[in-house]
Amino acid sequence: MPLVPSSRRGDGEFRAGVEQFREFYGAVIVISSENVEMVREALEAMNARDIDRYLTCCTDDVQLVPPTSAIEGTFDGPDGIRRYFADIEDVAPDFRLDAASIEAVDENRVIAFLRVTFSGRSSGVPGDLPVTSIYDLADGRISLIRVFLDREMALKAVGRRK
């Protein structure tokens, strides 16, 4: 039986099709909600500098692609994430990510509109900038994080417009 009900079927078949539709999309909404919460948990762990807690939110082959990846490369796996945390601590010990909005894009992706605040360790110069991160999830855990300085590029990457 097709997922979307056909008007040519009897009432019983139509109701069964509607129930299938609700079950499928209801499951997507639950999964999406859980994924949003997983991203929220990861952000809390990052702000607390709790690397182990952060890694429990991630797959073993997690990859972080910062906006500077063309220069410094990506951070791959648990060792890469630990290196990323260490780099942040070295450069901006008060680095913080605050979420303006975290939304499910689909059942496996979440987009987060964030504000990064920090002060340079050596200079003391404060920084405050918006970033947009796209999180891909596999089996309920973060497998890929792509960070964009340009919100439009992030939206385009997930097939959305303003």
The CATH number assigned to the domain holding 59 equals: 3.10.450.50
> Strand pairing partners for 106?
109
**Based on the number of CB atoms within 10 Å of its own CB, is 135 exposed (0-12), middle (13-18) or buried (19 or more)?**
buried
Which long-range contacts (C-beta less than 8 Å, at least 24 apart) are formed by 50-55? 51/81, 51/82, 51/85, 54/81, 54/85, 55/81
**Which residue has 């910062």 as its token pair?**
66
Rounded to two decimals, what is the model's pTM? Answer: 0.79
Q: What secondary structure letter does DSSP report for 160?
A: -
Strands 141-148 and 58-65: parallel
For the chain, residues with pLDDT lower than 50 are 1-29
Q: Does some domain include residue 114?
A: yes
Q: Does some domain include residue 1?
A: no
Per-residue pLDDT tens digits for 78-103: 999 999 999 989 988 999 999 999 99
Q: Does some domain include residue 131?
A: yes
Q: Does some domain include residue 6?
A: no
Q: Does some domain include residue 162?
A: no
What pLDDT sits at residue 28? 44
What pLDDT sits at residue 162? 61
Q: Supply the DSSP string of 68-129, one letter for each residue.
A: THHHH--EEHHHHHHHHHHHHHHH-TT-EEEEEEEEEEETTEEEEEEEEEEE-TTT--EEEE
Q: Does some domain include residue 105?
A: yes
Range of the domain at 44: 11-157
